[in-house]
A and B are shown apart, each in its own frame.
Chain A
Amino acid sequence: MSSGEQAPNVAALIGDLDRLAGAFADEIGALATEQEIRLAQARYLGKKGRVSELMKALGRLPPEERPAVGEAANRAKASIEGAVATRLAALDEADLAADLARVVDVTLPARGAALGTLHPLTLVRREIEGIFLGLGFEVRTGPWVETEWNNFDALNTPPDHPARDMQDTFFVEGGRILRSHTSPVQIRTMLSEPPPIRIVAPGNVFRRDDDATHTPMFPQMEGLLVDKGVSFADLKGTLLYFVHRFFGPNLGVRLRPSYFPFTEPSAEVDAACYLCAGSGLSAGRSCRLCKGSGWIEIGGAGMVHPNVFRAVGYDPQAVSGFAFGMGLSRMAMLKFEVDDLRSFYEHDVRFLAQFR
């Protein structure tokens, strides 16, 4: 009798299938990588795997016996897949545990370049520009090398005028000067366009002063507003707005009569000291910032002189305007509590690195 003809023993077959699952579980218990586990899984469940080998006999079984064997095969397959999943999960847990055991000294320094810094004078310029941009002013600039006419004559300061002594000027070859203030930008702007005008003009200016409290080059910010019916009250309101935004709300502004050839009336501008809130006293002593006066000087201002309008071809009967100017180094010293003006120009990165 040929064995091919012989029907397989169903009970033995089911027994073999059931034992396979147990054998697999034993086998993968010793395996430590997913790859080995998957290979083992393939040896049992692959096309040529052991489950498939046993199932070749299925076709020779009488149909009524096949479901029991199929059930056993599915049981073995599920058991093997379950064992794989469990084993893989255990391995992953072990990996995770190993990963979680790592400890980094979080107090060691960060890698890579730090952010650089903008110069404090750039920071205050931008802050002040931003305040005036918000009021509808445009930013204008002009050249360092200027004509005397733009710098003085057009600003109602003719040659031999004693006011020229207020600004000891550098002369350069070619009959020109280094601008001694940013006011020539007013002239350039008014010469090139009709009113209304609302500009601020930041930039470096040059004067022949070089000591602890003066540098031969320093940054200024000029402001000019020309329109119909502009008054001293508009100037005061604009400066008050600036002081509130730059130094702090609720601080007052004081305008003191003064003299500039290009404005009439003219004023020195004081802001209430932000350190002592204008009281002159901080911590019961004379305030160190305003020296007890309650005020800090921040710049000059005034109503544009009719002669300036005439110089640029504006009709002083038709328009009026105000102008103001301030030293940005002073603003930066106040804002950042810088004691020594010279520190802005000594390029010490240990100083500069603070302005992040």
Chain B
Amino acid sequence: MKISFNWLRELCDLKPGVTADSVAGKLTLAGLEVESIERRGRDLTGVLVAEVRAVRPHPSAEKLSIVRLAAGGAEEEVVCGAPASTLPPAGGRVAWAPPGATLPGGRKLDQREIRGVMSPGMLCSEVELGLGESGDGILILPPETPVGVDLARQVGLLDEVLEVNVTPNRPDALSHAGIAREVAALYETSWRLPPPDEVLQAPLAQGRGIDVEIRDPSACPRYAARIITGLRASRSPLALRVRLGACGVRAISNLVDVTNYVMLETGHPLHAFDLDRLQGGIAVRRAGRGERMKTLDGIDRPLQENDIVIADARGAIALGGVMGGADSEVSASTTAVLLEAATFDPRAVRRTSKRLGLRSEASHRFERGVDAEGIAHASRRAAAMLARLGGGALAGEGIDRYPVQQHPRRVTLSFGGLSRLAGFEIPLSQAAEKLAAIGIASVPDGDDKLAATVPTFRPDVTIEEDLVEEVMRLVGYDRAPARLPQGSGAPATSPDAPADRARDALAALGLSEIISWGFVPRAWLAALGGELESGVAVKNPISADYEVMRTSLLPGLVDAAKRNLARSVPDIGLFEVGPVIKKRAADDQKEPPTEPLAAAALLVGRRPGWLKPEAACDFFDIKRIAREVLRALGIADPVFTPAGRTPSSLLHPGAGAEIHAGVAGGPLVGQVGEVHPRLLRKLGLGARAFYLEVALDAVGGERRPVRSVAPPRFPASSRDLSFWIDVEVSADEQRALMLSASEPILRDLAVLEDYRDAHTVPAGKKGMLWTLTYRADERTLTDAEVDAAHARVVAALKSAPSVAIRQ
């Protein structure tokens, strides 16, 4: 809401020294935040109101004239670009920019010779003064305008406009009067609502009376109509147009401007119908099925049954509270209007305006609640102003239908309730004073209570807590002391703990955390395929980038890698931890989707090297990350099973693994491997990438306690073992073969080599080198014992037909 400080000063008795900044500060601390102050008219200086003394044609230019004028000092002769016939006669008032004056846009006036005549400055048009959009001649001011005064000050151009952020609970503050009430309370001064003008009252001509019927009082608790006749549409007076402009409202014609002006003054939206375009009586009702209406903007709109319409004998002529109709609009030829002042059901207005995308100053106020009790004043004020500015008269007494009487609300404020909520004591007498200042009267109710009467313009104040807030904001929130709450909670494990443990491990492993959007383009999920393709769709996405909730963290990481590659960062290690959203099966949509937490990592490019570039990342780099993250999550010995057996759409069939906790066939806790090259093509990443995904919910939340074991006291012996074996036999299978010997002193088996050089290794085979460690807990082993045990292990290995031991 834009509040003109000039206007505010008219309504509210502020001492001359009170500045717009100080008012803004006080309003902000009272809950009406002033977001900015626009200082208007600062670029227009030195322009004076001048009286025309004489006009004559320019001696050497037909289209120019010479105006003799005075602005409090000596007479001057100014060359004017308008023909003499368009200028006011002697005694008229014009805007004179003498040498030294500045105009909007930075133009500075001086003394110039124009076609042989010296001209001190110029006479200004509205466009040159920054007042209007069309430049039809120079500005002519009303003859009663004082001569010699500063124009900007005189017409209210010099103003400060406060942009007040009015919260949705305060419809009373959506007007200059409402803000004046607050400011008066804050400065402990008085304010007033301007009374209606004294204007001509005419009897209603025969046949011009119009009846109003409210068919649905829940849609419209009050509807007042007045008829003003004998009008002539014209431009509004300059000061009024300047004031509307300051408040961000475009001036149109006096008949429309008045409704806007009174709305800005009182907070009551008003609508003027062209009386001659109405037929029969007016009915306020809900729209009928299939009803349509052409709104002011010329669009023919289908209506719905909850919409509130104002209708005449032919049908809907306005959407109540939202917008007028094109067929009953006032125009330049309008001579009589029906002025509507009403209130409508806030929720219906909100639904209609939202559905049609028609948000107006009127709908903004109606959806927050317009005070039915203020209707009579607003209607009378606007009607009188219309009559005055349009040269017409009020015809008849007007109609006021008010089927649902609104009453002030009784709310009790207790001293105990006030002190308990505030945390400090405010005497009830002070509370009563503060409430009275904003129009809430109260009387003591016993020793420790106030019975308050909340006027209808404060629909937000309904319970004691609301009164507490009113009192507290007026005494100042800064009065409240600060103390720490008594008692203490019992900190429990954070539900994010496994996620944070995963984050710490991944960061320690050299990866950078990213945070990507929870919603992704549909194409990303389509690329993933399988069950990941179907995500929870956003029904009103902002753009195609945010269409559907992510079902996997992979596409977001790939996208992040692409962006970094595009910035010439070739070696990338990223991770993300967060929920993925899993849609329920079609027959189970009543349940919310599940949101399992996942941790995912992506490697692209080379492993961190030194001086000369080192090798490209491969499966074993991402496996290291998998191992360490799982260790941090309490899974010491995860089992990696080739994904080739249970193909995942995400991973390369030959270079991917499922991760199980504990033993093979144990709970699936994740997957790891090279990203499927076809998926990378679909996602547009032109480099190999390696991916890890851990299902944090499957890992479990509790950190497992560490049970320590003393280090071995006796030495170990090791034996190396080298053999050829079929390439299909995995290291885990080889390990299982050797462990099948069940040698109790065999304590560790480690792979040293897996080589597949075609020149040295027989076809279909690979060369393996293991080192086996033997140790007993209670004594030092003899060489003979170790040799014997090792021989049994080798024998067990050789039970596999494809093994050939090498010496």
* Interface residues, chain A, with chain B CB atoms under 8 Å away: 108-119, 121-122, 126, 129, 133, 135-141, 143-145, 147, 159-163, 165-166, 170-174, 176, 178, 196, 198, 202, 204, 206, 208, 210, 216-217, 225, 227, 229-234, 236-241, 253-259, 261, 264-268, 303, 305-306, 320, 344-350, 352-353
- Please tell me if B351 contacts chain A, counting CB pairs below 8 Å: yes
User: Which B670-705 residues have a C-beta within 8 angstroms of A?
Assistant: none
Chain B residues with Cβ below 8 Å from A176 are 592
Query: Roughly how many angstroms separate A230 CA and B573 CA in the complex, as a whole number?
Result: 48
CA distance A140 to B489 in the complex (A): 13
Please, could you name 21 A-B residue pairs with CB atoms under 8 Å apart, sorted by A? A112-B608, A119-B515, A138-B490, A139-B495, A143-B592, A145-B595, A160-B347, A206-B519, A225-B485, A231-B420, A231-B423, A234-B485, A237-B482, A256-B28, A306-B463, A347-B514, A347-B560, A348-B563, A348-B564, A348-B567, A352-B512
Q: A115-B510, A160-B346 known; 12 other A-B pairs, CB under 8 Å?
A: A108-B611, A113-B510, A116-B506, A163-B169, A166-B168, A174-B592, A231-B420, A237-B482, A257-B477, A264-B466, A267-B477, A306-B465
Among B325-346, those with CB < 8 Å from A are 346
Partner of A160, one of B167, B351, B469, B611: B351
Inter-subunit contact A237/B542 (CB<8 Å): no
Q: Which among B483, B540, B584, B595 is the interface contact of A233 at CB below 8 angstroms?
A: B483
**Set B169, B466, B480, B539: member contacting A173, Cβ < 8 A:** B539
Question: How long is the Cα–Cα vector from A240 to B581 in the complex, in angstroms?
Answer: 37
In the complex, chain B residues whose CB is within 8 Å of the CB of A257: 29-31, 469, 472-473, 477
Q: State the CA gap A303–B473 with chains docked (Å).
A: 14
Nearest 10 pairs of A and B residues by beta carbon: A233-B423, A231-B423, A257-B31, A136-B489, A259-B167, A347-B560, A265-B469, A113-B510, A198-B489, A257-B473
Whole-angstrom distance from the CB of A43 to the nearest CB of chain B? 32
Closest chain A CB from B503 CB (angstroms)? 6
**CB–CB B33/A256 < 8 A:** yes
Q: What per-residue 1/0 map shows which CB atoms of B377-421 lie under 8 Å from chain A?
A: 000000000000000000000000000000000000000000011
B610 contact set on A, CB distance < 8 A: 109-112
Is B500 located at the chain interface by the 8 A CB criterion?
yes
A145 touches B536 (CB 8 A): yes
Q: Mark B514-527, 1 if CB is under 8 A from A, else 0.
A: 11111100000000
B518 pairs with A118, CB closer than 8 A: no
Decide: B491 and A137 in contact? CB cutoff 8 A.
Answer: yes
Q: Are B482 and A233 in contact (CB under 8 A)?
A: yes
Q: Given A136-B489, A216-B546, A256-B33, is A172 in contact with B536 using a C-beta cutoff of 8 Å?
A: yes
List which B114-162 residues lie within 8 A (CB) of chain A.
Answer: none
* Beta-carbon contacts under 8 Å, B441-486 to A: 463, 465-466, 468-469, 472-473, 477-478, 480-486
Beta-carbon contact of A344 and B515 below 8 Å: yes
* Minimum distance in angstroms from A84 CB to a CB of chain B: 31
Question: What residues on B are CB-neighbors of A173 within 8 Å?
Answer: 536-537, 539, 589
Q: Which residue of B lies closest to A133 (CB)?
A: B491
Bound CA span A135–B518, Å = 31
Q: Are A113 and B472 in contact (CB under 8 A)?
A: no
Residues of A within 8 A of B607 (CB): 113
1/0 per residue, CB under 8 A from A, across B556-576: the answer is 000110011001010011110
Count chain B CB atoms within 10 A of each CB in A110, A206, A216, A225 and give the residue with the most.
A216
Q: Cα distance A133–B488 when bound, in Å? A: 10
Q: Is the CB of B496 within 8 A of A141?
A: yes
In the complex, whether B549 has a CB less than 8 A from a CB of chain A is yes
Given contacts A115-B510, A116-B509, is CB(A109)–CB(B611) below 8 Å? yes
Q: Is the CB of B538 within 8 A of A236?
A: no
Enumerate chain A residues within 8 angstroms of B513, measured Cβ to Cβ: 116-119, 122, 352
Chain B residues, CB < 8 A from A112: 608, 610
Contact A345 B518 (CB under 8 A): no
> Scoring B residues 533 to 559 as 1 if CB is less than 8 Å from chain A, else 0, what string do you get?
000111111110010010000000001
Residue of A nearest to B621 (CB): A113
B595 CB contact (under 8 Å) in A122, A143, A174: A143
Beta-carbon contact of B517 and A160 below 8 Å: no
